[in-house]
C-alpha cells in the first residue's frame, strides 16, 4: 500500500519537504489499511527500501502504468503489485510486472 501511494505521488516530489509529506501520507494510508498507527506501519510493516527508492526517484509507477485501468481490479492486481515491490526492493531499479 505504501509503495502504491508513493508511486502515485511521484510527480509531487520536487522538494525535500514535499517528499517528506508524501512519505508521511503514504505511512498514514498504509496504517489505515493495516489498522495501526503510522509509526507502527513504518517501523514494522513498510520495508525501508521502498522509502529509500522513492527518495532516489524510483517507484513502482512504471508497473502501475503498464497495468493501466485494471491496476486495482480483480484479485490479480495485488500479486502484480507485490511482484513490482519485490523487484524494486531487490534490484533497486524500475519495477517491472511480467506480461500476463
**pLDDT one-digit tens code per residue, 53-85:** 998 888 999 888 888 755 556 556 677 888 888
> Taking the CA atoms of the chain, what radius of gyration do you get in angstroms?
13
Q: Which pTM does this prediction carry?
A: 0.77
Separation of alpha carbons 76 and 41, rounded Å: 24
CATH class of the 2-91 domain in this structure: mainly alpha
Look at the block and give the residue holding cell 509529506.
Answer: 21
How confident is the prediction for the chain on average, in pLDDT? Answer: 82
Domain residue spans of the chain: 2-91
Burial of 73 (0-12, 13-18, 19+ CB in 10 A): exposed
pLDDT per residue as tens digits for the range 1-46: 899 999 988 666 678 888 899 999 999 999 999 999 999 999 999 9
Amino acid at each position: 500500500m505504501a509503495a502504491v501511494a508513493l508511486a502515485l505521488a511521484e510527480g509531487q516530489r520536487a522538494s525535500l519537504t514535499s517528499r517528506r509529506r508524501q512519505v508521511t501520507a503514504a505511512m498514514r494510508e498504509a496504517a489505515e489499511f493495516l489498522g495501526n498507527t503510522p509509526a507502527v506501519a513504518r517501523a514494522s510493516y513498510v520495508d525501508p527500501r521502498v522509502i529509500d527508492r522513492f527518495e532516489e526517484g524510483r517507484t513502482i509507477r512504471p508497473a502501475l502504468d503498464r497495468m493501466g485501468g485494471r491496476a486495482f481490479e480483480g484479485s490479480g492486481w495485488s500479486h502484480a503489485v507485490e511482484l513490482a515491490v519485490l523487484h524494486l526492493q531487490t534490484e533497486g531499479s524500475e519495477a517491472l510486472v511480467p506480461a500476463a
